[in-house]
Amino acid sequence: MLDIKFIRENSDAVKENIKKKFQNDKLPLVDEILRLDAAKRAAQSEANDLRAQRNSLSKKVGMLMGQAKKDPSKLSEAEEAKAQVKANADRLAELETQETDFSEKLTKLMMVIPQMIDSSVPIGPDDSCNVEVQRFGEPVTPSFEIPYHTEIMERFDGIDMDAAGRVSGNGFYYLMGDIARLHSAMTAYARDFMINKGFTYCIPPFMIRGNVVTGVMSFSEMDAMMYKIEGEDLYLIGTSEHSMIGKFIDQILPEDKLPQTLTSYSPCFRKEKGAHGIEERGVYRIHQFEKQEMIVVCKPEDSMKWYEQMWRYSVELFRSLDIPVRQLECCSGDLADLKVKSCDIEAWSPRQQKYFEVCSCSNLGDAQARRLKIRIKGADGKMYLPHTLNNTVVAPPRMLIAFLENNLQADGSVLVPAALRPYMGGNSVLTPKN
């Protein structure tokens, strides 16, 4: 959410930013916001004048009533003053109602105005305009055929989607044996990887209140992703970023306590609305998965430095597991409304002969901090808003796909890179059962 003062002083720039995000249907909202803002400020100004008059009028009434006891001719003047006090009180009540109404309408409209994107963001309507920036590691195409990832898992008796379907429906799975162990090994390795980078490990709440949901994401994301607990003001998290940023709601952070660098483990729950292609069957796009996340809360001048560092951590981790990756810069139309800048890290799929998304790194500027009322107290005592960032460390379902395809051998075995062996009982290779 943008600062109303910024919109007031830069309405043309706000409209141009909306055009860059190909959301022209929101352009009229800017003028409506300016109209409501002007009406609200006029009501506030008149209300403040009436409040200032209230004490002096009350004193005048008291004085005139006292004089009327001695001089009855003053009674009518006292009654007029009393009538003015009542009229002012009625008008003030009316203005306060207007202020509340204007504020609610303003907030509702401002919540859908997108954040100002960074000047470096490529312009385009959708993800087809995302731009490859660089590659890390050489993509390898083996001489043997790579099966679909669930077929690889089945050779290890490692997955049962039929049973999950009977128990929970589509979009769920049972992981078993070596595949389940591999899943846990990846999250444990990712946890220690981030701890070694100086991040504080955290296990957050897996359910959050509605005011936190609207503080961390746009309405469109909320509708497409979040599961609500029936009869309660609670939602299942779609990623631990939601509760991790929510941790700081309504807090004043001392400047010398920044940056806050946290890495968190959680299950994630998503509706995953919409139709998906054939490559998104299996465990690619599911309703429940687990993830290791990283978040940073920092001073505004440091956020781009952290953005650069965070996506590079993902690259380093994937390369340590012998998985080639590339960085893909997200275009304006592919950015969620709260994001200033974002990139995806995509892993190489030898089977598909293309890259697919495994991590998403985002700088949200002060959007979440403004919605959640997170503030920094500077050394001079002044308050200002921090910037917030998030990035996937690993999300094992997709990481499993990338790992299995890139480490599969011709005989069906799977190599375990050195970095992961301590988490796999020292095993250097996994042998299929079927």
pLDDT of residue 65: 59
Q: Among 238-247, 279-288, 346-355, 403-412, which is the least confidently predicted range?
A: 279-288
413 Cβ neighbours under 8 A, 6+ residues apart: 429, 430, 431, 432
DSSP element (H, E) containing 268: strand 260-269
Query: What are the tens digits of pLDDT across the range 171-229?
Result: 899 999 999 999 999 999 999 999 999 999 999 999 999 999 999 988 777 878 899 99
Q: What is the mean pLDDT of residues 404-424?
A: 96
Alpha-carbon dihedral sign for residues 12, 28, 366, 104? positive
**Could you tell me the pLDDT band of residue 275, with boundaries at 50, 70 and 90?**
very low
pLDDT of residue 225: 86
Query: Which token pair is 130?
Result: 């995302």
Residue environment code for 44-67, b if the CB has 16+ CB neighbours within 10 A, otherwise e = bebbeebeeeeeebeebbeebbee
**Domain boundary assignment for the chain:** 4-110, 127-430
Other CB atoms within a 10 A radius of the CB of residue 355 amount to 20
pLDDT of residue 49: 85
Q: What is the mean pLDDT of residues 285-307?
A: 95
Residue 331 in 3-state DSSP?
Answer: coil
Residue 394 in 3-state DSSP?
Answer: strand
Where are the alpha helices (H) located in 274-395, listed in sequence order?
303-320, 367-372
**Could you tell me the pLDDT band of residue 277, with boundaries at 50, 70 and 90?**
very low
Q: Is the pLDDT of residue 415 over 90?
A: yes
Residue environment code for 312-332, b if the CB has 16+ CB neighbours within 10 A, otherwise e = ebbbebbeebbbbbbbbbbbb
Amino acid code (one letter) for 423: Y
Percent pLDDT > 90 in the chain is 79
pLDDT of residue 48: 86
Q: Residue 418: how many CA atoms within 13 Å on its side-chain side?
A: 2
Range with top average pLDDT, 3-12, 71-80, 85-94? 3-12
- Domains 4-110 and 127-430 equal at CATH topology level: no
pLDDT of residue 331: 98
Q: Is the pLDDT of residue 371 over 70?
A: yes
CA distances from 62 to 58, 99, 332 (A): 6, 30, 64
Percent pLDDT > 70 in the chain is 91
Q: C-alpha angle with apex 254: 198 to 110, nearest 5 degrees?
A: 100
Q: Among 75-79, 119-123, 157-161, 290-294, which is the least confidently predicted range?
A: 75-79
Biggest alpha carbon–alpha carbon distance for the chain: 113
pLDDT of residue 359: 95
CB 235 within 8 A of CB 227: yes
Residue 123 in 3-state DSSP?
Answer: coil
Query: Which token pair is 310?
Result: 């965070």
Query: Which token pair is 353?
Result: 């002969």
Give the mean pLDDT of the chain. 91
Q: Is the pLDDT of residue 279 over 60?
A: no
pLDDT of residue 57: 66
Q: What is the DSSP letter of 148?
A: P
Comparing 89 with 383, the larger pLDDT belongs to 383
Query: Which token pair is 199?
Result: 């991040």
Q: What is the DSSP letter of 280?
A: G
pLDDT of residue 278: 42
150 Cβ neighbours under 8 A, 6+ residues apart: 159, 161, 281, 282, 283
85 Cβ neighbours under 8 A, 6+ residues apart: 54, 57, 58, 61
d(CA 33, CA 188): 48
Query: What are the tens digits of pLDDT across the range 51-65?
Result: 878 766 666 555 655
Q: What is the mean pLDDT of residues 360-371?
A: 96
Nearest partner of 37 among 86, 119, 103, 117, judged by Cα: 103
CB 376 within 8 A of CB 387: no
- Which CATH number among 3.30.420.40, 3.50.50.60, 3.10.20.30, 3.30.930.10 corresponds to the domain 127-430? 3.30.930.10
CB 318 within 8 A of CB 347: yes
* Block residue for tokens 């990846």: 186
Please tell us whether the domain made up of 4-110 is placed in CATH 1.10.287.40.
yes
Query: What are the tens digits of pLDDT across the range 85-116?
Result: 778 788 889 999 999 999 999 999 999 999 99
**Strand pairing of 375-377 and 252-254?**
parallel
Where are the alpha helices (H) located in 197-246, listed in sequence order?
210-216, 219-225, 240-246
Q: Among 16-25, 58-67, 149-158, 413-422, which is the least confidently predicted range?
A: 58-67
